[in-house]
Structure 1
Amino acid sequence: MAENGALATTVADLAVAHAVLADGVVAEPVDDDGAALVIAVSTRSPVPGTRLDAEGRAAVEAVVEQLRALGHTVVRRDPPVPTAAALAVLARWVAGAADDAEHLGADRHALEPRTRTHARLGRLVRRLGLVRPATAAAFRERSTAWFAGSAESADPGVDVLLTPVVTGPPLAARPWHERGWLANVTANARWAPWTSAWNMAGLPALVLPAGRRAGGTPLAVQFVGPRVPRRDYSGSRQSWSAAIPGAGTPPSSTPPARAEPSPAPARQLRLRPRQRPHRQGPLWTGSSSAAPASTTSRTSTWTCPGTR
Protein backbone atom coordinates (compact mmCIF):
# COMPACT_ATOMS: atom_id res chain seq x y z
CA MET A 1 0.00 0.00 0.00
CA ALA A 2 3.01 2.35 0.09
CA GLU A 3 3.75 4.42 -2.99
CA ASN A 4 6.68 6.70 -3.72
CA GLY A 5 5.71 10.31 -4.27
CA ALA A 6 7.16 13.80 -4.27
CA LEU A 7 6.48 17.07 -2.48
CA ALA A 8 6.59 20.02 -4.86
CA THR A 9 5.51 23.65 -5.03
CA THR A 10 4.87 23.94 -8.79
CA VAL A 11 3.90 21.67 -11.67
CA ALA A 12 7.35 22.16 -13.18
CA ASP A 13 9.02 21.04 -9.95
CA LEU A 14 6.77 17.99 -9.83
CA ALA A 15 7.70 17.11 -13.42
CA VAL A 16 11.37 17.16 -12.43
CA ALA A 17 10.71 14.94 -9.40
CA HIS A 18 8.75 12.41 -11.46
CA ALA A 19 11.49 12.31 -14.08
CA VAL A 20 14.02 11.51 -11.37
CA LEU A 21 11.83 8.77 -9.90
CA ALA A 22 11.29 7.28 -13.36
CA ASP A 23 14.94 7.72 -14.36
CA GLY A 24 13.72 9.62 -17.40
CA VAL A 25 14.11 12.94 -19.17
CA VAL A 26 12.53 16.05 -17.71
CA ALA A 27 9.79 17.38 -19.98
CA GLU A 28 8.77 20.98 -19.40
CA PRO A 29 4.95 21.17 -19.18
CA VAL A 30 3.37 23.22 -21.95
CA ASP A 31 0.78 25.80 -20.97
CA ASP A 32 -2.49 24.91 -22.69
CA ASP A 33 -5.30 26.27 -20.57
CA GLY A 34 -7.66 26.20 -23.53
CA ALA A 35 -8.28 22.46 -23.04
CA ALA A 36 -11.42 22.15 -20.92
CA LEU A 37 -11.65 19.02 -18.78
CA VAL A 38 -14.57 17.02 -17.44
CA ILE A 39 -13.99 16.74 -13.69
CA ALA A 40 -16.05 14.51 -11.42
CA VAL A 41 -16.38 15.62 -7.79
CA SER A 42 -17.27 13.19 -5.04
CA THR A 43 -17.43 13.78 -1.29
CA ARG A 44 -18.95 10.41 -0.40
CA SER A 45 -16.66 8.51 1.94
CA PRO A 46 -15.65 4.96 0.96
CA VAL A 47 -15.78 4.10 4.69
CA PRO A 48 -19.40 3.65 5.85
CA GLY A 49 -20.50 5.93 8.66
CA THR A 50 -17.97 8.71 8.01
CA ARG A 51 -18.73 12.12 6.58
CA LEU A 52 -16.77 15.17 5.51
CA ASP A 53 -17.00 18.07 7.95
CA ALA A 54 -18.31 21.54 7.04
CA GLU A 55 -14.90 23.18 6.54
CA GLY A 56 -13.69 20.36 4.31
CA ARG A 57 -16.87 20.51 2.24
CA ALA A 58 -16.53 24.29 1.85
CA ALA A 59 -12.95 23.83 0.61
CA VAL A 60 -14.06 21.32 -2.04
CA GLU A 61 -16.90 23.59 -3.17
CA ALA A 62 -14.51 26.56 -3.44
CA VAL A 63 -12.25 24.55 -5.74
CA VAL A 64 -15.27 23.43 -7.79
CA GLU A 65 -16.38 27.03 -8.33
CA GLN A 66 -12.89 28.06 -9.42
CA LEU A 67 -12.62 25.16 -11.86
CA ARG A 68 -15.97 26.07 -13.41
CA ALA A 69 -14.91 29.70 -13.67
CA LEU A 70 -11.83 28.54 -15.61
CA GLY A 71 -14.03 26.78 -18.17
CA HIS A 72 -13.90 23.18 -16.92
CA THR A 73 -17.01 21.02 -16.67
CA VAL A 74 -17.66 19.71 -13.16
CA VAL A 75 -20.15 16.89 -12.57
CA ARG A 76 -21.29 15.15 -9.38
CA ARG A 77 -20.36 11.50 -9.70
CA ASP A 78 -19.18 8.90 -7.18
CA PRO A 79 -16.49 6.42 -8.23
CA PRO A 80 -17.10 2.70 -7.72
CA VAL A 81 -15.34 1.54 -4.54
CA PRO A 82 -17.00 -1.79 -3.70
CA THR A 83 -16.79 -3.53 -0.32
CA ALA A 84 -14.43 -6.13 -1.80
CA ALA A 85 -11.95 -3.39 -2.66
CA ALA A 86 -12.18 -1.88 0.84
CA LEU A 87 -11.52 -5.27 2.43
CA ALA A 88 -8.62 -5.85 0.04
CA VAL A 89 -7.08 -2.55 1.19
CA LEU A 90 -7.30 -3.69 4.82
CA ALA A 91 -5.78 -7.07 3.97
CA ARG A 92 -2.81 -5.45 2.25
CA TRP A 93 -2.37 -2.99 5.11
CA VAL A 94 -1.95 -5.67 7.76
CA ALA A 95 0.03 -7.97 5.46
CA GLY A 96 2.46 -5.14 4.74
CA ALA A 97 3.14 -4.70 8.45
CA ALA A 98 3.86 -8.41 8.79
CA ASP A 99 6.20 -8.31 5.80
CA ASP A 100 8.06 -5.29 7.19
CA ALA A 101 8.48 -6.88 10.61
CA GLU A 102 9.88 -10.03 9.03
CA HIS A 103 12.16 -8.13 6.66
CA LEU A 104 13.59 -6.04 9.50
CA GLY A 105 13.97 -9.02 11.80
CA ALA A 106 11.91 -7.27 14.47
CA ASP A 107 11.34 -9.03 17.76
CA ARG A 108 7.57 -9.56 17.89
CA HIS A 109 7.50 -9.21 21.67
CA ALA A 110 9.32 -5.85 21.47
CA LEU A 111 6.67 -4.31 19.22
CA GLU A 112 3.98 -2.06 20.61
CA PRO A 113 0.75 -3.96 21.31
CA ARG A 114 -1.13 -2.28 18.45
CA THR A 115 1.69 -3.01 15.99
CA ARG A 116 2.06 -6.57 17.25
CA THR A 117 -1.64 -7.19 16.59
CA HIS A 118 -1.39 -5.54 13.17
CA ALA A 119 1.48 -7.83 12.16
CA ARG A 120 -0.17 -10.91 13.63
CA LEU A 121 -3.30 -10.29 11.58
CA GLY A 122 -1.06 -9.79 8.56
CA ARG A 123 0.51 -13.22 9.01
CA LEU A 124 -2.98 -14.72 9.29
CA VAL A 125 -4.09 -12.93 6.12
CA ARG A 126 -1.05 -14.30 4.28
CA ARG A 127 -1.70 -17.86 5.47
CA LEU A 128 -5.34 -17.66 4.35
CA GLY A 129 -4.34 -16.32 0.95
CA LEU A 130 -6.46 -13.17 1.29
CA VAL A 131 -3.97 -10.89 -0.48
CA ARG A 132 -5.16 -11.55 -4.00
CA PRO A 133 -3.67 -9.69 -6.96
CA ALA A 134 -6.81 -10.48 -8.95
CA THR A 135 -8.87 -8.29 -6.60
CA ALA A 136 -6.62 -5.29 -7.18
CA ALA A 137 -6.59 -5.92 -10.93
CA ALA A 138 -10.39 -6.12 -11.06
CA PHE A 139 -10.74 -2.88 -9.12
CA ARG A 140 -8.20 -1.17 -11.40
CA GLU A 141 -10.10 -2.28 -14.51
CA ARG A 142 -13.41 -1.14 -13.06
CA SER A 143 -11.96 2.26 -12.10
CA THR A 144 -10.36 2.67 -15.53
CA ALA A 145 -13.69 1.90 -17.21
CA TRP A 146 -15.41 4.47 -14.97
CA PHE A 147 -13.02 7.17 -16.15
CA ALA A 148 -13.30 6.13 -19.81
CA GLY A 149 -17.09 5.98 -19.93
CA SER A 150 -19.13 3.89 -22.31
CA ALA A 151 -20.62 4.67 -25.70
CA GLU A 152 -23.27 1.99 -25.23
CA SER A 153 -24.64 3.64 -22.10
CA ALA A 154 -24.02 7.18 -23.41
CA ASP A 155 -21.60 7.77 -20.55
CA PRO A 156 -18.99 10.31 -21.70
CA GLY A 157 -16.62 9.49 -18.85
CA VAL A 158 -14.46 11.96 -16.95
CA ASP A 159 -10.88 13.19 -17.15
CA VAL A 160 -10.16 13.72 -13.45
CA LEU A 161 -11.76 12.88 -10.11
CA LEU A 162 -11.80 15.47 -7.31
CA THR A 163 -12.24 14.28 -3.71
CA PRO A 164 -11.45 15.42 -0.17
CA VAL A 165 -8.47 13.93 1.65
CA VAL A 166 -9.46 13.80 5.34
CA THR A 167 -12.81 14.07 7.09
CA GLY A 168 -11.86 16.74 9.61
CA PRO A 169 -9.09 18.39 11.65
CA PRO A 170 -6.01 16.39 12.67
CA LEU A 171 -6.65 13.70 15.25
CA ALA A 172 -6.09 14.76 18.83
CA ALA A 173 -2.56 14.29 20.12
CA ARG A 174 -2.86 11.56 22.69
CA PRO A 175 -0.93 8.40 23.64
CA TRP A 176 -2.34 6.32 20.79
CA HIS A 177 0.34 3.68 21.38
CA GLU A 178 -1.36 2.88 24.68
CA ARG A 179 -4.68 2.20 23.00
CA GLY A 180 -5.66 -1.01 21.28
CA TRP A 181 -5.34 -2.01 17.65
CA LEU A 182 -9.03 -1.53 16.85
CA ALA A 183 -9.11 2.01 18.25
CA ASN A 184 -6.06 2.99 16.17
CA VAL A 185 -7.26 1.41 12.93
CA THR A 186 -10.77 2.82 13.30
CA ALA A 187 -9.50 6.34 13.97
CA ASN A 188 -7.11 6.15 11.01
CA ALA A 189 -9.67 4.78 8.56
CA ARG A 190 -12.37 7.23 9.59
CA TRP A 191 -10.04 10.24 9.36
CA ALA A 192 -8.40 9.55 5.95
CA PRO A 193 -10.71 7.34 3.86
CA TRP A 194 -10.17 8.83 0.38
CA THR A 195 -6.60 7.89 -0.59
CA SER A 196 -5.84 4.21 -0.02
CA ALA A 197 -8.18 2.79 -2.69
CA TRP A 198 -6.22 4.52 -5.46
CA ASN A 199 -2.95 3.15 -4.14
CA MET A 200 -4.35 -0.35 -4.49
CA ALA A 201 -5.71 0.42 -7.95
CA GLY A 202 -2.36 1.85 -9.02
CA LEU A 203 -3.92 5.08 -10.32
CA PRO A 204 -2.05 8.40 -10.18
CA ALA A 205 -3.25 10.81 -7.53
CA LEU A 206 -2.21 14.26 -6.41
CA VAL A 207 -2.97 16.06 -3.13
CA LEU A 208 -3.03 19.86 -3.30
CA PRO A 209 -3.54 22.55 -0.62
CA ALA A 210 -6.98 24.13 -0.44
CA GLY A 211 -6.77 26.86 2.18
CA ARG A 212 -6.75 26.62 5.96
CA ARG A 213 -9.17 25.78 8.70
CA ALA A 214 -10.30 28.34 11.25
CA GLY A 215 -7.83 26.79 13.68
CA GLY A 216 -4.92 27.29 11.26
CA THR A 217 -4.40 23.69 10.09
CA PRO A 218 -4.28 23.18 6.30
CA LEU A 219 -7.09 21.90 4.11
CA ALA A 220 -6.46 19.78 1.02
CA VAL A 221 -8.15 18.15 -1.94
CA GLN A 222 -7.17 15.14 -4.04
CA PHE A 223 -7.14 14.74 -7.82
CA VAL A 224 -7.18 11.20 -9.24
CA GLY A 225 -6.69 10.28 -12.88
CA PRO A 226 -6.71 7.14 -15.04
CA ARG A 227 -3.49 5.26 -15.79
CA VAL A 228 -3.74 6.41 -19.41
CA PRO A 229 -5.31 9.89 -19.55
CA ARG A 230 -7.95 10.59 -22.15
CA ARG A 231 -6.12 13.80 -23.02
CA ASP A 232 -2.98 15.63 -21.93
CA TYR A 233 -4.00 17.91 -19.09
CA SER A 234 -0.55 18.45 -17.61
CA GLY A 235 -0.39 21.75 -19.47
CA SER A 236 -3.23 23.21 -17.42
CA ARG A 237 -0.84 24.21 -14.67
CA GLN A 238 -2.08 27.80 -14.63
CA SER A 239 -5.60 26.49 -14.08
CA TRP A 240 -4.50 24.37 -11.14
CA SER A 241 -2.63 27.28 -9.59
CA ALA A 242 -5.61 29.58 -9.98
CA ALA A 243 -8.15 27.05 -8.71
CA ILE A 244 -6.26 25.84 -5.65
CA PRO A 245 -5.77 28.29 -2.76
CA GLY A 246 -2.16 28.16 -1.65
CA ALA A 247 -0.82 26.35 -4.73
CA GLY A 248 2.59 27.68 -5.68
CA THR A 249 3.31 28.88 -2.15
CA PRO A 250 6.64 27.53 -0.90
CA PRO A 251 6.12 25.33 2.16
CA SER A 252 7.67 26.29 5.45
CA SER A 253 9.05 23.83 7.96
CA THR A 254 9.26 26.51 10.64
CA PRO A 255 6.05 26.95 12.65
CA PRO A 256 4.95 30.47 13.63
CA ALA A 257 6.80 31.76 16.65
CA ARG A 258 4.88 31.68 19.90
CA ALA A 259 5.33 34.06 22.75
CA GLU A 260 6.88 32.15 25.62
CA PRO A 261 5.03 32.62 28.93
CA SER A 262 6.95 34.38 31.66
CA PRO A 263 8.34 31.89 34.16
CA ALA A 264 6.76 31.92 37.58
CA PRO A 265 9.01 33.34 40.29
CA ALA A 266 10.91 30.62 42.07
CA ARG A 267 9.87 29.93 45.62
CA GLN A 268 12.79 30.27 47.96
CA LEU A 269 12.95 27.38 50.41
CA ARG A 270 15.66 26.71 52.89
CA LEU A 271 16.50 23.19 53.94
CA ARG A 272 17.87 22.52 57.38
CA PRO A 273 19.23 19.22 58.63
CA ARG A 274 17.71 17.46 61.58
CA GLN A 275 19.37 14.51 63.26
CA ARG A 276 17.40 11.32 63.67
CA PRO A 277 19.82 8.59 64.68
CA HIS A 278 17.03 6.06 65.12
CA ARG A 279 16.02 6.16 61.40
CA GLN A 280 17.88 4.74 58.43
CA GLY A 281 17.59 5.96 54.84
CA PRO A 282 16.38 9.27 53.42
CA LEU A 283 13.09 10.73 54.51
CA TRP A 284 11.65 13.70 52.71
CA THR A 285 8.53 15.68 53.35
CA GLY A 286 7.21 17.87 50.55
CA SER A 287 7.56 17.29 46.80
CA SER A 288 8.81 13.84 45.85
CA SER A 289 10.49 15.32 42.75
CA ALA A 290 13.01 17.02 45.03
CA ALA A 291 14.07 13.80 46.74
CA PRO A 292 17.75 12.86 46.40
CA ALA A 293 18.65 10.29 43.78
CA SER A 294 20.81 8.28 46.13
CA THR A 295 19.22 5.74 48.45
CA THR A 296 22.31 5.22 50.56
CA SER A 297 21.47 4.81 54.26
CA ARG A 298 22.22 7.85 56.28
CA THR A 299 21.55 8.94 59.84
CA SER A 300 20.24 12.40 59.01
CA THR A 301 17.10 13.42 57.12
CA TRP A 302 16.04 16.59 55.42
CA THR A 303 12.78 18.34 55.91
CA CYS A 304 11.40 21.44 54.28
CA PRO A 305 10.21 23.90 56.90
CA GLY A 306 6.52 24.60 56.70
CA THR A 307 5.60 21.25 55.04
CA ARG A 308 4.24 18.03 56.40
Structure 2
Amino acid sequence: MTPITEVEGRRVALSNLEKVLYPETGFTKGELLHYYATTAAALLPHLRDRAVSFLRYPDGPEGQLFFTKNVPPGTPEWVTTAEVPRSSADSPARMVLVQDLPSLVWAANLVTEFHTHQWLVQRPEEADRLVIDLDPGAPATIVHCCEVALWLRERLAADGIEAYPKTAGSKGLHLLAAVRGSSSERTSEYAKALAVEAERAMPRLVVHRMTKSLRPGKVFVDWSQNAARKTTATPYTVRARRAPLVSAPVTWEEVADCRSPGQLELRAEDIAPRLQDLGDLMAPLLDPGSAAPVP
Protein backbone atom coordinates (compact mmCIF):
# COMPACT_ATOMS: atom_id res chain seq x y z
CA MET A 1 0.00 0.00 0.00
CA THR A 2 1.30 3.45 -0.92
CA PRO A 3 1.89 5.47 2.28
CA ILE A 4 -0.06 8.71 2.67
CA THR A 5 1.33 11.67 4.56
CA GLU A 6 -0.34 14.94 5.47
CA VAL A 7 1.44 18.11 4.42
CA GLU A 8 -0.12 21.37 5.60
CA GLY A 9 -3.55 19.75 5.56
CA ARG A 10 -3.16 18.06 2.16
CA ARG A 11 -2.95 14.29 1.76
CA VAL A 12 0.07 13.37 -0.36
CA ALA A 13 0.84 9.83 -1.54
CA LEU A 14 4.51 8.87 -1.29
CA SER A 15 6.02 5.80 -2.91
CA ASN A 16 9.23 3.73 -2.97
CA LEU A 17 10.98 5.80 -0.31
CA GLU A 18 13.81 3.28 0.05
CA LYS A 19 14.54 3.20 -3.67
CA VAL A 20 18.16 4.15 -4.44
CA LEU A 21 18.16 6.85 -7.11
CA TYR A 22 21.88 7.59 -7.13
CA PRO A 23 23.86 4.33 -6.86
CA GLU A 24 27.20 6.17 -6.61
CA THR A 25 26.22 7.62 -3.24
CA GLY A 26 23.28 5.44 -2.16
CA PHE A 27 21.02 8.51 -2.13
CA THR A 28 17.40 7.36 -1.89
CA LYS A 29 14.05 8.73 -2.95
CA GLY A 30 13.22 9.33 0.71
CA GLU A 31 16.34 11.48 1.03
CA LEU A 32 15.34 13.39 -2.10
CA LEU A 33 11.93 14.16 -0.59
CA HIS A 34 13.55 15.18 2.69
CA TYR A 35 15.89 17.52 0.78
CA TYR A 36 13.01 19.27 -0.97
CA ALA A 37 10.92 19.54 2.19
CA THR A 38 13.79 21.08 4.17
CA THR A 39 14.84 23.41 1.33
CA ALA A 40 11.29 24.55 0.56
CA ALA A 41 11.58 27.97 2.22
CA ALA A 42 14.34 28.94 -0.22
CA LEU A 43 13.11 27.01 -3.27
CA LEU A 44 9.40 27.82 -3.31
CA PRO A 45 9.73 31.58 -3.91
CA HIS A 46 11.70 30.81 -7.09
CA LEU A 47 8.96 28.44 -8.28
CA ARG A 48 5.91 30.46 -7.30
CA ASP A 49 3.78 31.78 -10.17
CA ARG A 50 6.02 30.13 -12.78
CA ALA A 51 4.80 27.28 -14.95
CA VAL A 52 6.97 24.24 -14.25
CA SER A 53 8.42 21.76 -16.69
CA PHE A 54 9.41 18.52 -15.00
CA LEU A 55 12.42 16.52 -16.12
CA ARG A 56 11.50 13.16 -14.63
CA TYR A 57 13.90 10.33 -13.82
CA PRO A 58 11.83 7.86 -11.77
CA ASP A 59 14.49 5.13 -11.98
CA GLY A 60 17.42 7.43 -11.27
CA PRO A 61 19.73 9.31 -13.65
CA GLU A 62 20.81 6.07 -15.35
CA GLY A 63 17.21 5.20 -16.23
CA GLN A 64 14.75 6.84 -18.59
CA LEU A 65 14.64 10.66 -18.56
CA PHE A 66 11.68 12.53 -20.02
CA PHE A 67 10.25 16.04 -19.93
CA THR A 68 6.69 16.61 -18.74
CA LYS A 69 5.25 20.01 -19.63
CA ASN A 70 1.52 19.31 -19.51
CA VAL A 71 -0.24 18.52 -16.24
CA PRO A 72 0.65 14.87 -15.44
CA PRO A 73 -2.16 12.31 -15.16
CA GLY A 74 -3.26 11.82 -11.57
CA THR A 75 -2.38 15.35 -10.48
CA PRO A 76 -4.38 16.16 -7.32
CA GLU A 77 -7.16 18.70 -7.82
CA TRP A 78 -5.63 20.97 -5.18
CA VAL A 79 -2.45 21.47 -7.22
CA THR A 80 -2.63 24.82 -9.01
CA THR A 81 -2.47 24.76 -12.81
CA ALA A 82 -2.57 27.48 -15.45
CA GLU A 83 -2.94 27.86 -19.19
CA VAL A 84 0.36 28.88 -20.71
CA PRO A 85 0.71 30.38 -24.20
CA ARG A 86 2.76 28.54 -26.79
CA SER A 87 3.44 29.50 -30.40
CA SER A 88 0.69 31.25 -32.30
CA ALA A 89 0.02 28.03 -34.21
CA ASP A 90 -0.58 25.97 -31.05
CA SER A 91 -3.32 26.11 -28.45
CA PRO A 92 -2.27 27.01 -24.88
CA ALA A 93 -0.77 24.30 -22.70
CA ARG A 94 -1.99 23.61 -19.18
CA MET A 95 0.96 23.37 -16.82
CA VAL A 96 1.56 22.93 -13.10
CA LEU A 97 2.39 25.75 -10.69
CA VAL A 98 4.24 24.66 -7.55
CA GLN A 99 2.84 27.25 -5.15
CA ASP A 100 3.20 25.60 -1.74
CA LEU A 101 4.81 22.82 0.27
CA PRO A 102 2.18 20.14 -0.48
CA SER A 103 2.57 20.73 -4.22
CA LEU A 104 6.36 20.60 -3.88
CA VAL A 105 6.28 17.28 -2.00
CA TRP A 106 3.79 15.84 -4.51
CA ALA A 107 5.98 16.90 -7.44
CA ALA A 108 9.18 15.67 -5.75
CA ASN A 109 7.55 12.25 -5.32
CA LEU A 110 7.47 12.03 -9.13
CA VAL A 111 11.30 12.30 -8.99
CA THR A 112 11.88 15.40 -11.02
CA GLU A 113 14.10 18.33 -11.81
CA PHE A 114 12.24 21.64 -11.73
CA HIS A 115 12.60 23.93 -14.76
CA THR A 116 10.89 27.33 -15.09
CA HIS A 117 10.39 30.10 -17.65
CA GLN A 118 11.86 33.58 -17.32
CA TRP A 119 8.38 35.09 -16.84
CA LEU A 120 5.41 34.84 -14.50
CA VAL A 121 2.13 33.28 -15.58
CA GLN A 122 0.31 36.53 -14.81
CA ARG A 123 2.48 38.38 -17.37
CA PRO A 124 3.74 35.92 -20.00
CA GLU A 125 4.42 38.77 -22.39
CA GLU A 126 7.03 40.32 -20.06
CA ALA A 127 10.36 38.76 -19.09
CA ASP A 128 11.32 39.33 -15.45
CA ARG A 129 14.54 37.29 -15.59
CA LEU A 130 17.65 37.39 -17.72
CA VAL A 131 19.56 34.11 -17.79
CA ILE A 132 22.93 33.26 -19.31
CA ASP A 133 24.03 29.63 -19.33
CA LEU A 134 27.79 29.11 -19.42
CA ASP A 135 28.47 25.65 -20.81
CA PRO A 136 32.10 24.43 -21.05
CA GLY A 137 33.23 22.24 -23.92
CA ALA A 138 35.84 19.75 -22.76
CA PRO A 139 38.65 20.13 -21.88
CA ALA A 140 37.26 23.46 -20.61
CA THR A 141 35.59 23.22 -17.18
CA ILE A 142 33.56 25.32 -14.78
CA VAL A 143 36.85 27.05 -13.87
CA HIS A 144 36.80 28.63 -17.34
CA CYS A 145 33.09 29.41 -16.92
CA CYS A 146 33.96 31.37 -13.80
CA GLU A 147 36.45 33.49 -15.74
CA VAL A 148 33.76 34.32 -18.30
CA ALA A 149 31.19 34.92 -15.56
CA LEU A 150 33.38 37.54 -13.92
CA TRP A 151 33.70 39.40 -17.22
CA LEU A 152 29.94 39.22 -17.78
CA ARG A 153 29.27 40.45 -14.25
CA GLU A 154 31.19 43.64 -14.94
CA ARG A 155 29.64 44.07 -18.38
CA LEU A 156 26.11 43.67 -17.01
CA ALA A 157 26.89 46.06 -14.16
CA ALA A 158 27.87 48.68 -16.75
CA ASP A 159 24.25 48.49 -17.94
CA GLY A 160 22.89 48.71 -14.40
CA ILE A 161 22.08 44.98 -14.17
CA GLU A 162 23.23 42.93 -11.17
CA ALA A 163 23.88 39.27 -11.89
CA TYR A 164 23.77 36.36 -9.44
CA PRO A 165 25.61 33.08 -10.13
CA LYS A 166 24.54 29.52 -9.51
CA THR A 167 25.99 26.21 -10.51
CA ALA A 168 24.19 24.39 -13.30
CA GLY A 169 24.35 21.27 -11.16
CA SER A 170 26.28 19.56 -13.91
CA LYS A 171 29.42 21.08 -15.44
CA GLY A 172 28.58 24.73 -16.02
CA LEU A 173 27.39 27.95 -14.44
CA HIS A 174 24.23 30.07 -14.74
CA LEU A 175 23.95 33.83 -14.31
CA LEU A 176 20.54 35.23 -13.41
CA ALA A 177 19.38 38.83 -13.15
CA ALA A 178 16.06 40.53 -12.41
CA VAL A 179 14.83 42.67 -15.31
CA ARG A 180 11.67 44.60 -16.14
CA GLY A 181 9.84 46.28 -18.97
CA SER A 182 11.04 43.96 -21.71
CA SER A 183 9.71 41.10 -23.81
CA SER A 184 11.41 37.72 -23.96
CA GLU A 185 12.37 38.53 -27.55
CA ARG A 186 14.11 41.75 -26.56
CA THR A 187 15.82 40.10 -23.60
CA SER A 188 17.09 37.34 -25.91
CA GLU A 189 18.46 39.94 -28.32
CA TYR A 190 20.29 41.68 -25.49
CA ALA A 191 21.70 38.40 -24.13
CA LYS A 192 22.91 37.44 -27.61
CA ALA A 193 24.64 40.80 -28.01
CA LEU A 194 26.41 40.20 -24.70
CA ALA A 195 27.52 36.75 -25.86
CA VAL A 196 28.90 38.17 -29.12
CA GLU A 197 30.70 40.90 -27.18
CA ALA A 198 32.18 38.33 -24.78
CA GLU A 199 33.48 36.31 -27.72
CA ARG A 200 35.15 39.39 -29.19
CA ALA A 201 36.73 40.21 -25.84
CA MET A 202 37.88 36.62 -25.15
CA PRO A 203 38.10 34.87 -28.55
CA ARG A 204 40.26 32.02 -27.28
CA LEU A 205 37.85 31.25 -24.45
CA VAL A 206 34.30 32.10 -25.56
CA VAL A 207 31.96 31.02 -28.35
CA HIS A 208 28.44 32.36 -28.80
CA ARG A 209 27.24 29.88 -31.42
CA MET A 210 25.83 26.47 -30.55
CA THR A 211 27.74 24.65 -33.32
CA LYS A 212 29.39 21.73 -31.53
CA SER A 213 32.53 21.76 -33.66
CA LEU A 214 33.32 25.27 -32.34
CA ARG A 215 32.95 24.40 -28.67
CA PRO A 216 35.83 22.11 -27.58
CA GLY A 217 38.04 23.94 -25.11
CA LYS A 218 35.73 26.97 -25.00
CA VAL A 219 32.80 28.24 -22.97
CA PHE A 220 29.55 28.44 -24.89
CA VAL A 221 27.67 31.54 -23.74
CA ASP A 222 24.13 30.29 -24.26
CA TRP A 223 21.80 33.27 -24.55
CA SER A 224 18.91 31.28 -26.08
CA GLN A 225 17.25 30.27 -22.80
CA ASN A 226 15.69 33.73 -22.66
CA ALA A 227 13.25 32.72 -25.41
CA ALA A 228 9.68 32.69 -24.11
CA ARG A 229 9.27 28.94 -24.69
CA LYS A 230 12.53 27.93 -22.99
CA THR A 231 12.97 26.89 -19.36
CA THR A 232 16.03 26.74 -17.10
CA ALA A 233 16.82 24.66 -14.03
CA THR A 234 15.33 26.40 -10.99
CA PRO A 235 17.65 27.41 -8.12
CA TYR A 236 17.99 24.54 -5.63
CA THR A 237 16.68 21.81 -7.92
CA VAL A 238 18.49 18.47 -7.70
CA ARG A 239 19.80 17.35 -11.09
CA ALA A 240 19.63 13.97 -12.79
CA ARG A 241 23.38 13.44 -12.77
CA ARG A 242 25.78 10.78 -11.43
CA ALA A 243 25.29 12.14 -7.90
CA PRO A 244 22.58 14.33 -6.27
CA LEU A 245 24.17 17.55 -7.51
CA VAL A 246 22.19 20.75 -7.00
CA SER A 247 21.83 23.82 -9.17
CA ALA A 248 22.98 25.91 -6.23
CA PRO A 249 23.54 29.64 -5.78
CA VAL A 250 27.15 30.56 -5.06
CA THR A 251 28.89 33.76 -4.02
CA TRP A 252 30.96 35.86 -6.37
CA GLU A 253 33.89 35.22 -4.05
CA GLU A 254 33.49 31.48 -4.67
CA VAL A 255 33.40 32.15 -8.40
CA ALA A 256 36.55 34.28 -8.27
CA ASP A 257 38.38 31.72 -6.11
CA CYS A 258 37.44 28.65 -8.20
CA ARG A 259 40.58 26.75 -9.22
CA SER A 260 39.18 23.24 -9.71
CA PRO A 261 35.76 21.89 -10.78
CA GLY A 262 35.19 20.17 -7.45
CA GLN A 263 35.14 23.48 -5.58
CA LEU A 264 31.71 24.34 -7.01
CA GLU A 265 30.26 20.82 -7.00
CA LEU A 266 27.46 21.11 -4.45
CA ARG A 267 25.32 18.15 -3.40
CA ALA A 268 21.97 17.92 -1.66
CA GLU A 269 23.57 17.47 1.77
CA ASP A 270 25.58 20.69 1.32
CA ILE A 271 22.60 22.99 0.89
CA ALA A 272 21.09 23.14 4.41
CA PRO A 273 24.32 24.36 6.05
CA ARG A 274 24.84 26.87 3.23
CA LEU A 275 21.34 28.25 3.70
CA GLN A 276 21.93 28.52 7.43
CA ASP A 277 25.22 30.37 6.93
CA LEU A 278 24.50 32.41 3.79
CA GLY A 279 20.72 32.48 3.40
CA ASP A 280 19.26 32.44 -0.10
CA LEU A 281 21.93 34.13 -2.21
CA MET A 282 19.34 34.68 -4.94
CA ALA A 283 16.76 36.33 -2.70
CA PRO A 284 17.44 39.75 -4.31
CA LEU A 285 15.92 38.40 -7.54
CA LEU A 286 12.58 38.20 -5.71
CA ASP A 287 12.55 41.91 -4.87
CA PRO A 288 10.74 43.86 -7.61
CA GLY A 289 12.79 46.89 -6.68
CA SER A 290 15.98 45.13 -7.78
CA ALA A 291 14.80 44.66 -11.38
CA ALA A 292 16.62 46.74 -13.98
CA PRO A 293 15.44 47.73 -17.47
CA VAL A 294 16.97 45.89 -20.41
CA PRO A 295 18.95 48.40 -22.50
TM-score, normalised to structure 1's length?
A: 0.22
Larger radius of gyration: 1
Larger strand proportion, structure 1 or 2? 2
TM-score, normalised to structure 2's length?
A: 0.22
